[in-house]
Amino acid sequence: MKKLRIGIIGAGATGLAAAWDFARAGHQVEIFEAADRVGGLAAGFKDEGWDWSLEKFYHHWFANDHDILRLADEMGVREQVVFPRPKTSYWVDGEIVRSEISPSALALPLSPIAILRMGLAGMFIKLSPWWKPFESVTADAWMRRWMGAEAYEKFFKPLLIGKFAEAYDQVPMSFMWARIVKRTLKLGTYIGGFQAFLDELARQLEAEGVSVALNAPVEGIRVRDGAPALVVAGEERRFDRVLSTTSPQLMLRLTDGLAATPYGAQMADLQSIGGLCVVLALRHALMPDDTYWLNLPATTADKSRSAFPFLALVEHTNYISREHYGGDHIVYCGDYVPPNHEYFRMDEADLAARFLPALATINPNFQADWVRKWWVWRAPYAQPVPATFHSRNIPDIKTPYPGLYWASMSQVYPWDRGTNYAVEIGRRAAKLAMNG
């Protein structure tokens, strides 16, 4: 087999997983990453006195995330993956209510018939092996009909509004199918943090001869003599294959003429929203019942009029011991909003100030001086927004340009974005490119 020279744009989980297979097949691989570290949306940071890194955006694996676990096995680090069982809950009628698919659901503040309907509908979804029938109907319509208005209005509609705003009633039921089918009671992490896992993957890749260039944004994608080329630091570099793992918007901006093609038009039609987190290091525990993940309801897409200005409250140190973070209690205030939302324009201090008062609703004892330190992380491309029959709208991994491939979270549907499916699509793209 001919030894290929392969360029990869992006050192997130997709690009690194693809490089793993390229390198093991004997090809020459160069990765170009705009950031100062590998990891993409799963990258972390570390404050003084912390033993573990902390993810910029809350993250965990499910026990059935087979692709990431298979890669960990191949790397020889599977024993570093641990699966605690934290509490996940809803905020309902001014109280924290356990929300797992378990006997705790019997205590939900619903009528017996509503609990029965919700349980039967959830079981049906969990046991359904086929997702395609679910993409022909919206989650709003399906859940309202089969789960019942009481459970849907109280639990699921507020979450859909909080995540997708005005588009909440356009998202297909296949999105909810994937989230329910994948969810497990135990949630996984890597000892030392996800940054430690991704750094180890990059280290093993470099040991195999892969070049990982950080602070090296790609400035353009071109075709030269029937093969792809990348422009990096003003220099054009030619390859036999190029795999881009960028957002669709960046891919269109980088690639000469792609926007004018049918493939480019299909890519431009893909919808997504941004994600952000205000991360707090607190001196005291926030949630009194040791809840890890608290879903917060949204009655309106207007954040200024909603009871809470963000979607999820995640107390990370009710999942992973705070001894790894210098004794800090780590709390995420997370939200999804369009990239043109005011949250992406606000000063970081103003955004933190907007979010903090909500914590006193959860714990009336909360005071601003509990906050030792805070950080704000924002990503304009963080969550694809699918529509009904979305499988028809997804561009192929292989682009119409010779030797050029594209793999992104916008193509993992019906599954949700995350490192497991980033690994899956990265390895699938590598196989296509090597067989190309």
Residues 430 and 340 grouped into a single domain: no
- In a 13 Å sphere around the CA of 156, the CA atoms on its Cβ side amount to 27
- Look up the CATH number of the domain holding residue 255: 3.50.50.60
- Look up the CATH number of the domain holding residue 346: 3.90.660.20
Confidence grade of residue 103 (pLDDT, cut at 50, 70, 90)? low
Listed in sequence order, the residues at least 6 apart from 142 whose beta carbon sits closer than 8 Å to its beta carbon are: 134, 173, 176
426 within a domain of the structure (yes/no): yes
Can you tell me the mean pLDDT for 289-294?
93
Residues 231 and 314 grouped into a single domain: no
Confidence grade of residue 213 (pLDDT, cut at 50, 70, 90)? very high
Which residue range(s) make up the domain with 246? 5-53+193-270+387-435
pTM for this prediction: 0.95
73 within a domain of the structure (yes/no): no
319 within a domain of the structure (yes/no): yes
Angle made by CA atoms 328, 345, 42, in degrees to the nearest 5: 45
Residues 197 and 260 grouped into a single domain: yes
Is the pLDDT at 102 greater than 60, yes or no?
A: no
Q: What is the pLDDT of residue 303?
A: 84
Number of domains in the chain: 3
93 within a domain of the structure (yes/no): no
Largest CA distance in the chain: 68
Residues 126 and 255 grouped into a single domain: no
**Residue-wise pLDDT tens digits, 384-394:** 999 999 999 99
64 within a domain of the structure (yes/no): no
Distance, in Å, from the CA atom of 58 to the CA atom of 99, rounded to the nearest integer, reads 19
Give 15-35 as a DSSP string.
HHHHHHHHHHTT-EEEEE-SS
Contact 40, 12 (CB under 8 A): yes
Residues 246 and 280 grouped into a single domain: no
Residues 326 and 402 grouped into a single domain: no
380 within a domain of the structure (yes/no): yes
Q: What is the pLDDT of residue 104?
A: 56
70 within a domain of the structure (yes/no): no
* Structural tokens at position 72: 């960990």
Residues 119 and 160 grouped into a single domain: yes
63 within a domain of the structure (yes/no): no
Residues 265 and 393 grouped into a single domain: yes
The CA–CA distances, whole Å, from 351 to 177, 270, 277, 348, 355 equal 33, 28, 10, 5, 6
Residues 248 and 208 grouped into a single domain: yes
